[in-house]
Amino acid sequence: MKKLMVTDKYNGKKLSKFIFDSFPKLSTNTFYKALRHKDIKINNSRINKDCIINSGDEILVYIADSLLCPSINLNIIFEDDNILIIDKPVNIEVTGNDSLNSIVHNKYSNSSFLPMPCHRIDRNTTGLVLFAKNEKSLNILLDKFKKHEIKKYYQALVYGIPKVKSARLEAYLFKDTKKSIVYISDTFKPGYQKIITSYSVIKSFDNNTRLLNVEIETGRTHQIRAHLAYIGFPIVGDGKYGINSVNKSLGYKYQQLCSYKLMFNFLTDAGVLNYLNGKSFEKLDLHF
């Protein structure tokens, strides 16, 4: 049994939206079967149909953990005594309940130090996530990310034809935490933070899509997705910043964005991790 509390974000939303966001691996059939069998309670009352929920509601879910959170096999790209690089699949958060982090902690539960993620990518963005396997490495890597001495490269499938084949874009981003969305502006406004996004066209396709290589010099929430959409080239499959009719016609349910490469470019001493300087790690099985 799982106990959940409804937050303000889901006030007035359908129960199904809340449940599927809480348990992204749960199948639709299993959810509606649980409703039919009255295996879900709201405020201690059993229900047999999808309904509207409110902030502060207590929801009890009587569905087996194996169905709520099916296990996934970790696709480990590289591992040594200090770091762990994992290829994250779609539809799973890096941190939080039932996340990539919790799966890693379960796998390494007998270790003296539980590996910790050094950065994040969105739930529906796939690709490489770097974990530290000891406290010394964690402190070094967090500092290196802060100093931009670890570079992340992405590939994105976008809709539209950029006239400029390669560009370095500067803008400003505002994060609306309550709505879980960000806004882009060409000029500075109070509350906005500067962002820098670079792209180059890798390949063109007949269906008006283009494959881009993307690099960010600032790591803001939804930066790549929102910035590319702002200049007129939304990522295919992106339900928040993309074009739903295009996503549907092309058959993509999730944003086609992948963090495919990590490069260590240390400009200052990295202590026990100096051996990583100049090395890069890449995901080769891209499916764009």
Residue 122 is among the residues annotated as catalytic for this protein: yes
Q: How far apart are CA 184 and CA 101, in angstroms?
A: 30
CA atoms lying within 13 Å on the CB side of residue 84: 21
Q: How far apart are CA 6 and CA 13, in angstroms?
A: 10
Given 39, 87, 98, 122, the catalytic residue: 122
Residues 6+ apart with CB under 8 A from 198: 166, 167, 168, 169, 214, 215, 216, 217
Q: Which two tokens stand for residue 286?
A: 């891209």
Tokens 């499916």 sit on residue: 287
Q: How far apart are CA 282 and CA 268, in angstroms?
A: 23
List of E strands, the chain: 2-5, 40-42, 45-47, 58-61, 76-79, 83-88, 116-117, 126-132, 150-159, 166-176, 181-185, 193-204, 209-216, 257-264, 280-282
In terms of DSSP H, where are the helices of 61-213? 65-68, 100-107, 135-146
First to last CA, the chain: 39
- The DSSP result for 92-110, as a single string, is --SSSTTSHHHHHHHHTTT
Amino acid, res. 6: V
CA atoms lying within 13 Å on the CB side of residue 231: 21
Pairing of strands 193-204, 181-185: unpaired
Q: Which residues carry out catalysis?
A: 122
